[in-house]
Each structure stands twice: as structure tokens, then as C-alpha cells.
A and B are shown apart, each in its own frame.
Chain A
Amino acid sequence: MNFSKADFPLIRASVITALVSVLLSGIIVYSSQAYSDYAQKEFRKASNHLNDVRNRRNNALQDREYLETYSKDYESLQARNIIGDERRLDWMEELDKLRRQNLVIDFGYNISPQSIYSSLPTLDSGNLNINYSEMKLQFDLLHEEQLLNFLSAMQKQVQGHYQLKECKMQLASTNNKDIEDNIPQVSVNIKAECTGGWITLKNRNAQS
């Protein structure tokens, strides 16, 4: 079928109708789709908001539970200077106090620079860094119980948490006497060396 310009008036109304129909259909479908998208978006938004609010409620309930369960223990950790920055001066002063108690014949210590504690098995510390300051202790002992008593006293009297890793005790070879000073010395029967470290916990976001 061939069309000419002269034919256009005959089909003009139908062509215009078709164009209007296409336009209207487009508008109708687009509008309904837009409405559908909007409704679905609002539904998703409301659904997400509800989930968010539910999570907030769960978090609030969890916070309440955590506060009830852990706040006293946490305060205890704070009181023991485990939370926050380490207090090396306090440790030194308190170790000196222990020295004056003569729990062992003699002891020496060496505290290394602080590092991040790596434990096996790994600990989930959440938002906290577990800081570790290694401290080696050398002892001169009359008998092995002195070591046990010293460690027990250190845990009780020094504010902090000393995580003991290792101890080695060895019979001393001879009795020591300072002949030149002619001062009788207490007999050292056992030499011991213990390794461990001071643990402190610090929030990762806290400024140092």
C-alpha cells in the first residue's frame, strides 16, 4: 500500500488519536510505575526503619542487661587501674613496698616497652586494645614457697593485672657469703625467673 501526502487528511484523526493514545498510555504506565516505585520505596523505607528501630530497642535492652551484669565488675577493673593508660610509676612504688616486706631474699624486675597482647587462643576484645607490658622477675629464694607467696602478694597488693606466663626454678649451686665484708648472708637455695606482663585495656577510639 502506497501513501501519499493527499491521503494524510483521511488518516490524520487516527494518527493523532494513536499519538495521543501512545502519549496517554506512556503517561499512565509511567505514572503507575512511578507510584508503584514510590510505594515500594516507602514500604522498604518503613521496613528498614522498623528493623533499625527494632535493632535500637535490642541494643538498648542489651545495654541495660550489660550494665546490670558487668558494671560492677567493670568498676572493679577501673579501681585496679586495668582500664586506660598503664601506671608504671605505681607498679614501681608498689613493687618497692613488696621488697620491704622481705617475702623473698631478693628480687629484680625489668619492664619492657608496651605492645599489643597476642594470645592463643585469640581473644575477642571488641572495641578494646589489650596492651601488654612484659615484666621479667628474677628471684633469690630460700625455698620455693617464697616465690608462691611473692606472686600471691603481688596479685593482691599491686593495682593491675600481671599475666604470668612462665616460671623457672633451679637449685642454687653454692651458699653465698661475702667473705670480704665478713657479713653473714642468708643462704640462697633456689634461683627463679618468672616472665609475664601487665595487662591494660584501652578503648581504640580513646585519645592517648
Chain B
Amino acid sequence: MKHALLLFLSADRLHAQVMSAGKISLSRNFIDTAEGRSDFSAFLKSVKCKAYLLTDLIEEDFRHEVVPHLSGKSRSALFQRKFDQFYRGTPFHQATLLQRQTTGRRDDEILFSALTNPSLITPWLDIMLAMKTPLVGIFSVPQISSPLVKDHPSKHLLLISWEKFSGLRQSYFSDHRLQISRLTPLSEEQSFITAVIKELSRTYVYLKSLSLLPAGQTLDVRILCHSNDINALKSQLPQNDDMRYDFADIVSVGNIHKIDHQFTDSDASQIFLHQLISSKLKSDYANDQHKHFYNLWIFRRALNWGSGGLLLISIFLALANVIQNSGNDEETLLLESQADRIMQEVEMLTQNLPKTEVLPIDMKSAVTVMGKLDQYQPSSITQLHNVSTSLNLFPKIQLSNIDWLTDSNEPIADNTNAEFPAQVITLRGNLKGFNGNYRDALTYLERFQIDIGKRGYQVEVLSKPLDISSSASLANQRDTNENPLRFTLKLAWRPAL
């Protein structure tokens, strides 16, 4: 916390101190008079930070109530009814949940409390509202005492402290939860030690009468005081089984809470004032109207932080973008220089190329296409020569027809190139000079097939001179001379792979 205005309100005065970085930078006291209030108003003009108001007044009332466990609007309505019932005349009230019962309906145990004399607070509060001081809340000394007893193991504990401007404060805690609190103003002649001795016994009787302290229960008493007073208190306090004492050295407590203040007596005002800013207090006596300027202050700070954050994020994003893309810039320059160099190369190449009417790619296409077509059309002379050469070896074969064509649909034989269409030659002819010797004629034709096959042709017999297969019909031939032995062969050729 950088700056905060801490206000301590007692019955007859208002103590104000400005905290800067944990230290008191300015301290003033204002008497509850017209002049004092006027001074306070002038003082607030120069102080522009959030303010905490701590009250230490006799007129603070506490009531225990067990109420049904409710939530939301029902709970608020119930509490409002209770406030109207108990504290109709004051706007400074609050309800604190002590615990939820574990049996029965599991009702809530609530501590209703209020500052019952608003006339002590309102004048100062009106000035703060008029000066638009951001008021964090209105707190009371008993409320903020809890952190000072939370380390004590006792279930029934009385905390005694002395505030110079208000008096002797005695707050009773059961299970570390505030039950009641009393403030006894001290006269100027009365010392802290005598007041403690006198008021402690009264309080013990009071607690007994309210049945807050069970019968036979020892009351633990923690006294917040300066080390100078501890010995005197030890020697003068009554020693019996009813009470057990524990002395909290105010200097040690101040050190624990890192309070930058020189404690010279048992005045615990600074301890409680520091509790305001070091403890996270959940509830207080101020309502929304009292905190209006504080809410505005929070809103303003949120806006300021949000604005700063937004600017920072956008700057960060922008920087990230710039850093990320600075590499791109360098690469772009590199690419451009590379492109320029290659472009010069291209221009040189283009200038050196001879001028042609057609594109080189078209030249390539033309030459390639014609090359393919040449390959698709192997020399018919070669094909027919092959056949002729073979036929010369078989003079008993007489051809009547030779058909030659290129056919892409011809089945592709093993080890031949499928990219080329097949050259298909169909031979029709007959066998002469066998004088009815079919066996020799068929053997002769088979030898021709084998020979032509060796020259790279796939040979298919379309018709034989005599079909001697089991599926064919067969009849005797009366005059072999008048019945030529006709046959048809299909030869297919593709270039080898």
C-alpha cells in the first residue's frame, strides 16, 4: 500500500494519520468541535487517498441471534428486519456470521452489531462525503481484534487493550469469535494498571451474569501492554483459578506486524490502526452510500490500470510483430537480390537463344510425336520379309491372303512393350503335296508355327487344315486332291522390352 489515510474516532476526537509506504507521514488530531471539523475539512483537501475509519466508542452494541440459514434476497430481508428491530435509529450496523449450527435445522449463529450513536460519526462522515474522500469502510476496534487472539489456544478469552483517546477496551471471544466488548473511558488521573485491575473483575462478573462463561471455566485474559507495565500488572492482578493471564508485549506485537512506530506506553491505537490495512476485513458498518466515492476510486483505478495494461499489451504485441517481421524484411531483401541476379541470367540466356518462329517446346512436341509415330509403324517391309524368310523354309505352304494391320487392342504378350500397338499379320493359305497324309501336314504346319514363333511373333491358329480336337466333328475325306488343307494363322508382334 502506498498511501492511505487512517482515522481513529473516539468519543471526543478524531485522530488522522497518513501512511506512506508503511510509515506515518502526517499525523493530526481534530477535536469534536466546529473548529475541529473545519480543520478536518481543510485537512482532507490536501489528502487525496483512500481512507479507513476506525471507531472506538462506548455506543457499540452486540447481539447474538440464531436465524434460519437463508441466502440471497431472503437473507438480506431477514437481516434488514433484524436491523429495523434492534437498531432502527442508526445506519451503522452489520451482521457477522459466527458459525452454522451442526445439529437441528443447522441454523446460523449471527452477531448483529451497530454503532448506536450515529451523531458521533455522522459529522465526520459528512465532511468526508462532502470532500469526496474514498472511504474504504467504517470499522470498530472489537471487530479488528480477532487477529490478535487467533494464536491463543483458549476457548474463553478476554482481550484487554488501552487506547489513549478512548479508554480501556475489553473484548470477549468464545472459540475465537467475538461475543461482546466493553469500553471504559479512563479519567486523566486513572492509570492503565489500576483501570485494568478494577475493570477486569467487573467484566468477569458481567460475563458470569450473562452465562457467557460456563461455571467452573477459567477465563484466559490476554493483556496488550508495554513491557514496562507487565511486571506491575503481574504483581497486582488477583491470582486465583478464575482467571489466567497472558501478557502480549505491545513492542513485540508491533514488530511482528512490522509497525513502524515507537511504542512508549501501552497505547494500542497504532496496533489497531495497522490492523485496518494489514487485515482483510470482510464486513464493516459503512453502507454503499458511505462507500460511494471509494467505489468510484476503485473504478477509476481499474480504468487506469486497465488503460495502462491495454497499452502495455498492445505495445508488446506490436513489438512482437515488428521483431517477428524484421526477419521477414531481411529475407525479402535477400530474395529480391537473388531474383535480380537470376533475372540477369535469364536475360543473358534469352539474348543468346536464336530467334525461331515456333517455341522450342513445340519443336520438341513435333519431333517427339513424329518419333513415336515412326515407332508405331515399324517397317512393313521388315515384317513381311520376316514372314517371307520363314515361308521360304516351308515351300508346301501356299498363301492366298496376307492381311497386315496395327492394332492397339491386341493382348499384350510377356516381355513386350505395351506402349506400342501390335503389328498383326493374318495368313490364309493351304498345304500342298501331302496326298491325304494329315499327320504329316499338321506336323508341317506346327513346325512353321514354331519357326515363326522363334522370330518374335505370337502365333495363334485361327483355323487348322483338320480339326482333330475332341470338341470338333470329323468326317472322312474322299478325294484329298480336291480338298485343300486350308488354314488361318494370326501372328502378333510388339517390340521387346
Binding site for B on A (CB under 8 A): 1-3, 7, 10-11, 13-15, 17-18, 20-22, 24-26, 28-29, 31-33, 35-36, 39-40, 42-43, 46-47, 49-50, 53-54, 56-57, 60-64, 66-67, 69-71, 73-74, 77, 82-83, 119-121, 123-128, 130, 144, 148, 151-152, 161, 163-171, 199, 201, 203
As a 0/1 sequence over residues 372 to 413 of chain B, the CB contacts with chain A under 8 angstroms (1 = contact) are: 110011001100110010000000000111111110110000
A71 engages B322 (CB within 8 Å):
no
CB within 8 Å of A: which B290-330 residues: 292-293, 295-296, 299-301, 303-304, 306-308, 310-311, 313-315, 317-319, 321-322, 324-325, 328-329
B367 engages A127 (CB within 8 Å):
no
The answer for the CA separation of A75 and B338 in the assembled complex, in Å, is 37
A170 engages B400 (CB within 8 Å):
yes
The answer for the CA separation of A1 and B380 in the assembled complex, in Å, is 105
The answer for the CA separation of A127 and B362 in the assembled complex, in Å, is 6
B360 engages A67 (CB within 8 Å):
yes
A164 engages B336 (CB within 8 Å):
no
Majority-rule SS of A interface residues? helix
B324 engages A36 (CB within 8 Å):
yes
B353 engages A53 (CB within 8 Å):
no
B48 to chain A, nearest CB (A): 11
B362 engages A128 (CB within 8 Å):
yes
A25 engages B311 (CB within 8 Å):
yes
Interfacial chain B residues near A46, Cβ < 8 Å? 331-332, 335-336, 339
CB within 8 Å of A: which B328-349 residues: 328-329, 331-332, 335-336, 338-339, 342-343, 345-346, 349
The answer for the CA separation of A42 and B373 in the assembled complex, in Å, is 49
Given contacts A1-B295, A14-B304, A77-B366, contact A60 B349 (CB under 8 A): yes
The answer for the CA separation of A62 and B331 in the assembled complex, in Å, is 29
28 contacts between A and B (CB under 8 A): A2-B292, A13-B300, A17-B303, A18-B306, A24-B311, A26-B314, A33-B321, A40-B328, A43-B331, A50-B338, A50-B342, A54-B342, A60-B353, A66-B363, A67-B356, A69-B364, A70-B360, A70-B367, A77-B366, A77-B370, A82-B366, A82-B370, A119-B373, A125-B369, A127-B362, A128-B366, A169-B402, A170-B401
Majority-rule SS of B interface residues? helix
B293 engages A43 (CB within 8 Å):
no
B475 proximal to A (CB < 8 A):
no
B310 engages A22 (CB within 8 Å):
yes
Kindly report which residue of chain B lies nearest to residue A155, judged by CB atoms: B379
Given contacts A11-B303, A32-B318, A127-B359, contact A168 B335 (CB under 8 A): no
Residue of A61, A144, A171 near B349 (CB, 8 A) is A61
Interfacial chain B residues near A3, Cβ < 8 Å? 296
Interfacial chain A residues near B304, Cβ < 8 Å? 14, 17-18
A135 to chain B, nearest CB (A): 14
Residue of A66, A73, A123, A168 near B403 (CB, 8 A) is A168
Given contacts A7-B296, A21-B310, A21-B311, contact A201 B401 (CB under 8 A): no
B463 proximal to A (CB < 8 A):
no
B317 engages A167 (CB within 8 Å):
no
B408 engages A120 (CB within 8 Å):
yes
B421 proximal to A (CB < 8 A):
yes
**Apart from A1-B288, A36-B325, 11 more pairs, CB < 8 Å:** A13-B300, A18-B303, A36-B324, A46-B335, A57-B349, A70-B360, A71-B360, A128-B365, A166-B405, A199-B370, A201-B370
A144 to chain B, nearest CB (A): 7
Residue of A60, A69, A125 near B346 (CB, 8 A) is A60
Given contacts A11-B296, A11-B303, A152-B381, contact A124 B314 (CB under 8 A): no
A151 to chain B, nearest CB (A): 6
A94 to chain B, nearest CB (A): 19
B306 engages A40 (CB within 8 Å):
no
Kindly report which residue of chain B lies nearest to residue A49, judged by CB atoms: B339
B215 proximal to A (CB < 8 A):
no
A63 engages B360 (CB within 8 Å):
yes
The answer for the CA separation of A145 and B358 in the assembled complex, in Å, is 41
Residue of A7, A50, A63, A152 near B353 (CB, 8 A) is A63
B350 proximal to A (CB < 8 A):
yes
B242 proximal to A (CB < 8 A):
no
Residue in A70, A82, A203 with the greatest tally of chain B CB atoms within 10 Å: A70
B363 engages A43 (CB within 8 Å):
no
A201 engages B366 (CB within 8 Å):
yes
Interfacial chain B residues near A170, Cβ < 8 Å? 400-401
Kindly report which residue of chain A lies nearest to residue B370, judged by CB atoms: A77
The answer for the CA separation of A62 and B360 in the assembled complex, in Å, is 8
Interfacial chain B residues near A47, Cβ < 8 Å? 335
Residue in B292, B306, B359, B364 with the greatest tally of chain A CB atoms within 10 Å: B364
